[in-house]
Every structure is written in structure tokens, then in C-alpha cells.
Amino acid sequence: MSIRFDGRVAIVTGAGGGLGRCHALALAARGAKLVVNDYAATAAAGSAAADAVVEEIRRAGGEAIAAPGSVTDEAAMRAMVEQALATWGRIDILVNNAGILRDKSFAKMDLADFRLVLDVHVMGAVICSHLVWPVMKAQKYGRIVMTSSSSGLYGNFGQANYGTAKMALVGLMQTLAIEGAKDGIRVNCLAPTAATR
């Protein structure tokens, strides 16, 4: 079966590399127009990683724009959503993929690192989903994917913060799937395992 996303607009967070880049390229290869988000140290500097993925998509004949910024920055994410709407007039897909690691055994973990991981993974997904929700609701169509992890499902030494964040996304997914059903918004999780970036 050939799955196509022609005419659809997708936002992928953390798409400058790794799994996010793969999501962006796969969606673009199937006809979606892409908003490629990746963290930028400063707004002025932008994100070289996001720009590189945009160029890769364009070279392959697709349409893409870069939207640098941290998913924890509500103003930056609002600007990303507004940019997508101004460019293409709709948002059909959101892949909440942005994340960080601050691995250390629980006994040695600084609570600031625990909070930071929760903020990026959980609140980043909440912020982005909350911003696209009214757009998808008005369209009566939306697809949201949360990136969970086997570290959340099964645990992994040194990843109490990461595992907690990834299981929180499962709870968010379950509730949003119920609330979005009547408006054609489907919400799912992926739980990948990786040995490298």
C-alpha cells in the first residue's frame, strides 16, 4: 500500500537529525510540505541542522521551511505555527520528536536535569500540541504523533528522568486521542529503541 500525504502540511520537532530527520524526509518523500524544527542556540543564528534538512527536502523536489527554536519556548513555537499557516494555510500533522538526554543514575542526578528533561519532552509536546489543536479542530482533521521510548515502557539504568518523561507522553496521547476523536484528530505514540543518534 502506498501512503501519500500530498497537500498535507507536517511539523516535525527535533528534525535536524536522528529520528526527527528521518520522519521529515519520509513525510516529504510522500508529498507532505514540511516545517523542520530544531533547537537553535540563538534565534539570530538559526539552526544549521534544520536548514540542512530543508535543503535536502528541496533538492529532492519537496517543499520545506525551517523553524528554529526550542519546543519549551512558547513564543517561538507560536511563531512556527503562524509561519506554517502563513506559508501553506493549514497544519495536518505534528510529530512531537524533540528531546534531550541528561543520563545519570538517580542517586547522582541533579533535580535541575530531571526538570529540564521533563520540560523538553513533556511540556514541549504539550506546547506544540496545544498550539496546533485549534487549527486541526477547525479543519476536522489532524494527526499528532508523540515520540515515547522503550526506556519509559521498560526502564533503563541512568534514565529515570527520560523514562518518566516518555511515559508521561503515553498518558497525554491517551487523553488527547479521546478528546480529539470527534474532530478527526488522531493521536498516537511511537516507542523506538536506538543504540546511536
Q: Which residues are catalytic?
A: 162
Q: Which residue has the cell 485549534?
A: 134
Size of the chain in residues: 197
Please report the DSSP string for 94-117 in residue order: EEE---------GGG--HHHHHHH
Cell of 184: 478527526
Cell of 56: 535536502
CA nearest to 37, candidates 58, 51, 25, 27? 51
Helix (H, G, I), strand (E, B) or coil at 185: strand
Cell of 147: 515520540
Opening angle at CA 132, ends 56 and 115, nearest 5: 85
